[in-house]
Amino acid sequence: MSLGRSVADEEAAFCAALLHDFGLIPPYRRDDRFEIDGADAARDFCTRHHVSPERAALIWGAIALHTSPGIPTRLASEMALVHLGAGLDFLGLGLDQVPPEVLEEILEQYPRMKFKSEFRNLLVEHCQHNPAARFGSIL
C-alpha cells in the first residue's frame, strides 16, 4: 500500500536513505532508539531547509521505521525503499536478486570499508550510551 500514491518521491527517499543511521552518530544521538534519534535529526534538517511538513514527516517515518519488519512495506513507497535498501545493505536480504555484474560494479565504486565491524561498533556505543534503547529495536 502506498497511501494513495503510485509514484515515489525519489528525493525524499534519497534523503531518508542518506540520513537513516544518523541516530548512531554522537552529534545526533540522544536518548531514544537510534532510529528515532536519526528521524528527529532528519526532521530538524528538513525544517532548517524549508522542506514541507508533509515531506519532512514522510522522511521521518522512513527513517523511524527502517528497521521495523512488516511495517514500511505496507506504507508509503519511500518508507518501503529505505527499509528494503537498509535490509539489503546491512543483512544482504535480496542480494541474490542483484545481478552479479551490477553488484561487482557497485562494490568497485562504493567499497564496504569494514562496514560491518564499524557499524557494529556504532551499535555497541549506542547501547552503552543508552542501554534502554535496546528494547523495542533491532539491538
Is residue 37 a contact partner of residue 28, using CB atoms and an 8 Å limit?
yes
Domains of the chain, by residue range, sit at: 10-134
108-139: per-residue pLDDT in tens? 999 999 998 998 998 888 888 888 777 766 66
Of 63-67, 79-83, 115-119, least confident by mean pLDDT is 115-119
Cα angle 70, 29, 56; round to 5? 55
pLDDT at 31: 85
Is residue 119 a contact partner of residue 90, using CB atoms and an 8 Å limit?
yes
Band (52; pLDDT cuts 50, 70, 90) = very high
How far is residue 14's CA from residue 62's CA, in Å, rounded to a whole number?
A: 10
pLDDT at 2: 47
DSSP the chain: --TT--S--HHHHHHHHHHTTGGGSTTT--SS-HHHHHHHHHHHHHHHTT--HHHHHHHHHHHHTTT-TTSGGGS-HHHHHHHHHHHHHHH-TTGGGS-HHHHHHHHHHS--TTHHHHHHHHHHHHHHH-GGGGTTS--
pLDDT at 21 over 90: yes
pLDDT at 100 over 50: yes
How far is residue 118's CA from residue 3's CA, in Å, rounded to a whole number?
A: 36
pLDDT at 5 over 80: no
Mean pLDDT of 85-93: 92
pLDDT at 129: 85
Mean pLDDT of 6-17: 92
Model pTM above 0.85:
yes
pLDDT at 93: 93
| Pairwise pLDDT comparison (31 vs 85), residue with the higher score | 85
Q: How far is CA 4 from CA 7, 12, 61, 109, in A?
A: 10, 17, 16, 36
